[in-house]
Amino acid sequence: MSPARVVVFIDYQNLHTAALSRFWPRNTHPSQGHIDPVRLAHLIVDRRSASGRLSRLAQVRVYRGYPSRDRQPAAASANDRQADAWSRSPLVVVKRRPLRYPRGWPTMPAQEKGIDVALAVDVVRLAGIDNAFDVGVLVSGDTDLLPAIEAVMELRCGHVEVAAWRGGGRLMLPGTSLPWCHWMDEADYRSVEDLTDYSKRS
């Protein structure tokens, strides 16, 4: 029997913010606490295989916002260095969308715009049109992604699971315990933590 092809979809800011909230002191600067997407994906896939569900990591897709070079040049450069580091792995696809800056910026923070839509569209497209995975794992707590999960389940074009930090929220269809959740604790987080300071040029 061939191993299931697994694609891991990572809503990076959602994952990173939740990790800072769970495992770091309050008001920790967001330059800390980063996660290595490939190590995280292998953690999930290895556990599937260890539980008897033979699996192979086919792709890691990372979705995140992209700061303006004019407004936040240092943050944009750090974002570029991080995306370049991730993209050295042939397994990784990084999809970035420009941040939206409100009129009150910088007092009001810039916000991601369209990340959840881009991720949701790709989940459905890769499952229903491209037949790119047998199992898609969504690493996010954003409930805007629930329609994508419902679509894949209704079309029966793939199997969807989710992953979340233990003690936090998880994606779950109303009135059910679905989809299956890969709970990750602090030891798991420390095993996939990326200690690189991307604010510094190498």
Residues 6+ apart with CB under 8 A from 145: 11, 116, 119, 120, 123, 138, 171
Q: How many Å apart are CA 106 and CA 69, to the nearest integer?
A: 14
- Is there a domain that residue 109 lies in? yes
Q: Which pair of structure tokens corresponds to residue 128?
A: 């229903």
pLDDT tens by residue, 11-20: 999 999 999 9
Which CATH number belongs to the domain containing residue 116 in this structure? 3.40.50.1010
- Is there a domain that residue 199 lies in? no
pTM, whole model, 2 decimals? Answer: 0.96
- Is there a domain that residue 153 lies in? yes
- Is there a domain that residue 200 lies in? no
Q: Identify the CA nearest to 7 among candidates 50, 49, 44.
A: 44
| Contact assessment for residue 16 and residue 35, using Cβ atoms and an 8 Å cutoff | yes
- Is there a domain that residue 201 lies in? no
Q: Domains in the chain: how many in total? A: 1
| Contact assessment for residue 55 and residue 3, using Cβ atoms and an 8 Å cutoff | yes
- pLDDT attached to residue 202: 65
- pLDDT attached to residue 1: 77
- Is there a domain that residue 30 lies in? yes
Q: Which pair of structure tokens corresponds to residue 202?
A: 């190498």
pLDDT 10s per residue in the chain (202 long)?
799 999 999 999 999 999 999 999 999 988 899 999 999 999 999 999 999 999 999 999 999 999 999 999 999 999 999 999 999 999 999 999 999 999 999 999 999 999 999 999 999 999 999 999 999 999 999 999 999 999 999 999 999 999 999 988 899 999 999 999 999 999 999 999 999 989 887 6
The boundaries of the domain holding residue 86 are 4-194
Partners of 4 in the beta sheet? 55
- Is there a domain that residue 59 lies in? yes
